[in-house]
Structure 1
Amino acid sequence: MDLAKAILYHASSTPNHIALIYEENTYTYEQLNKEINRFSHGLHMKGIKKGDKVSLYLKNSDQFVIAAYALWRIGAVVVPINFRLTAPELAYILEQSDSILVLSDAELIETARQAVQLVEHDLEIAVVGEDAPHVVNWQSYRSDDVNEPNIALLPTDDAQILYTSGTTGKPKGALFTHSNIIAVNMSVTYMTKLQRDDVYLLIAPAFHSAGLNMIVTTTLFAGATLVVQRDFHPVEAQKAVQQHKVTMFFAVPAMYNAILQVPKGMFNLSSIRACNYGAAPMSPSLIEASIDYFGTDQFYNCCGLTEAGPGGVLLLPEEHATKIGAAGKAMPFLNARVVRDDFTDVAPGEVGEFILRSSSIMKEYYKKPEETQKAFRNGWLLTGDLATIDEEGYITLVDRKKDMIISGGENIYSVEVEQVLDAHPDVVEVAIVGLPDTQWGEVVTAIVVLKEGATLTLEEIQAFCREHLAGYKVPRHMIEVAILPRNASGKVLKYHLREQLTKQ
Structure 2
Amino acid sequence: MFTSGTTGKNKRVPLKNYNVVQAILAYENALDLSPADSTIIATPIYYVTGLIALFGLFLKVGGEVYLRKRFHVEEIIQLILEKNITLIHGSPVVFNLILGQRPNTPAMDSLRYFLCGSGPMSVEKINEINQWLPNVEFRTVYGLTETSSPLTIMNEAVAGSKHKGSSGRPVATADVRIVGDDGTDLGTEEIGNVEVRGATVIRSYYLDEYPELFSEGSWLKTGDIGYVSNEGYLYVLDRKKDMINVGGEKVAGSSVEDQIYGLGIADEVAVVAVADELFGEIVGAMIVYKENQEVSAEKLQQLLSSRIPKYQIPKVILQVSEIPKNENMKLDKVKVRQLLNDYKREHE
Q: Distance in 1 between matches of 2:266 and 2:105?
A: 25
> Quick one: structure 1 residues 299 and 475, their matched pair in 2 at CA, closer, same or farther if it must change by over 3 Å?
same
Letter in 2 for 1:489: N
Tell me the residue number matched to 1:178. 17
Tell me the residue number matched to 1:196. 35
> Are 2:217 and 1:404 aligned?
no
Tell me the residue number matched to 1:341. 181
After superposing the two structures, state which structure 1 stretch, 242-251 or 375-384, moved more.
242-251
> Quick one: structure 1 residues 363 and 409, their matched pair in 2 at CA, closer, same or farther if it must change by over 3 Å?
closer
Q: Distance in 2 between matches of 1:275 and 1:218?
A: 15
TM-score of the superposition, structure 2-length normalised? 0.90
Name which one, 1 or 2, has greater alpha-carbon Rg: 1
Tell me the residue number matched to 1:307. 146
Tell me the residue number matched to 1:463. 302
Q: Distance in 1 between matches of 2:103 and 2:298?
A: 34
Deviation at 1:260, TM superposition (A): 2.0
Deviation at 1:399, TM superposition (A): 1.2
Alignment of 1:6-405 (within 5 A): 161=1, 163-263=2-102, 266-318=105-157, 320-321=159-160, 322-362=162-202, 364-367=204-207, 369-371=208-210, 373-378=211-216, 379-405=218-244
Deviation at 1:264, TM superposition (A): 5.1
Please say if residues 337 and 356 of structure 1, whose CA atoms lie closer than 8 Å, have aligned partners that are also in contact: yes
Deviation at 1:404, TM superposition (A): 0.9
Letter in 2 for 1:301: T
Q: Distance in 2 between matches of 1:247 and 1:501?
A: 39
Q: Distance in 1 between matches of 2:274 and 2:179?
A: 28
Q: Deviations over 1:223-256 (max 9, x none)?
A: 2222223332323223322332222221222222
> Quick one: structure 1 residues 449 and 366, their matched pair in 2 at CA, closer, same or farther if it must change by over 3 Å?
same
Report the 3-state secondary structure (helix = DSSP H, G, I; strand = E; otherwise coil) of the residue aligned with 2:101: coil
Letter in 2 for 1:335: D
Letter in 2 for 1:242: L
> Quick one: structure 1 residues 222 and 304, their matched pair in 2 at CA, closer, same or farther if it must change by over 3 Å?
same
Q: Distance in 1 between matches of 2:107 and 2:290?
A: 27
Tell me the residue number matched to 1:27. none
Letter in 2 for 1:198: D
Report the 3-state secondary structure (helix = DSSP H, G, I; strand = E; otherwise coil) of the residue aligned with 1:468: coil
> Quick one: structure 1 residues 258 and 493, their matched pair in 2 at CA, closer, same or farther if it must change by over 3 Å?
closer
Deviation at 1:215, TM superposition (A): 0.3
Q: Distance in 1 between matches of 2:242 and 2:76?
A: 33
Letter in 2 for 1:250: H
Tell me the residue number matched to 1:43. none
Deviation at 1:177, TM superposition (A): 1.6
> Quick one: structure 1 residues 267 and 206, their matched pair in 2 at CA, closer, same or farther if it must change by over 3 Å?
farther
TM-score of the superposition, structure 1-length normalised? 0.64
Q: Distance in 2 between matches of 1:239 and 1:340?
A: 47
Report the 3-state secondary structure (helix = DSSP H, G, I; strand = E; otherwise coil) of the residue aligned with 1:176: coil
> Quick one: structure 1 residues 266 and 408, their matched pair in 2 at CA, closer, same or farther if it must change by over 3 Å?
closer
Q: Distance in 2 between matches of 1:450 and 1:409?
A: 31
Report the 3-state secondary structure (helix = DSSP H, G, I; strand = E; otherwise coil) of the residue aligned with 1:317: coil
Q: Deviations over 1:274-299 (max 9, x none)?
A: 22111122101111111222232511
Q: Distance in 2 between matches of 1:391 and 1:268?
A: 38
Q: Distance in 1 between matches of 2:6 and 2:72?
A: 25
Q: CA RMSD in A?
A: 2.1
Structure 1 unpaired stretches of 5+: 1-160
The percentage of counterpart residues that share the same residue type is: 28
Please say if residues 338 and 354 of structure 1, whose CA atoms lie closer than 8 Å, have aligned partners that are also in contact: yes
Q: Deviations over 1:368-410 (max 9, x none)?
A: x341x12211201110000022222222111111111111211
Please say if residues 124 and 262 of structure 2, whose CA atoms lie closer than 8 Å, have aligned partners that are also in contact: yes
Q: Deviations over 1:321-364 (max 9, x none)?
A: 21212222112321112222343332343210111112212354
Q: Distance in 1 between matches of 2:31 and 2:19?
A: 19
> Quick one: structure 1 residues 297 and 224, their matched pair in 2 at CA, closer, same or farther if it must change by over 3 Å?
closer
Please say if residues 200 and 225 of structure 1, whose CA atoms lie closer than 8 Å, have aligned partners that are also in contact: yes
Q: Distance in 2 between matches of 1:338 and 1:320?
A: 26
Deviation at 1:453, TM superposition (A): 4.3
Q: Deviations over 1:442-462 (max 9, x none)?
A: 111112122344432222111
Report the 3-state secondary structure (helix = DSSP H, G, I; strand = E; otherwise coil) of the residue aligned with 1:250: strand
Please say if residues 58 and 64 of structure 2, whose CA atoms lie closer than 8 Å, have aligned partners that are also in contact: yes
Please say if residues 203 and 250 of structure 1, whose CA atoms lie closer than 8 Å, have aligned partners that are also in contact: no
Letter in 2 for 1:431: A
Tell me the residue number matched to 1:490. 329
Q: Distance in 2 between matches of 1:483 and 1:284?
A: 21
Letter in 1 for 2:212: K
Please say if residues 190 and 332 of structure 1, whose CA atoms lie closer than 8 Å, have aligned partners that are also in contact: no
Q: Distance in 1 between matches of 2:104 and 2:289?
A: 25
Q: Distance in 2 between matches of 1:332 and 1:200?
A: 25
Tell me the residue number matched to 1:22. none
Please say if residues 203 and 251 of structure 1, whose CA atoms lie closer than 8 Å, have aligned partners that are also in contact: no
After superposing the two structures, state which structure 1 stretch, 337-346 or 249-258, moved more.
337-346
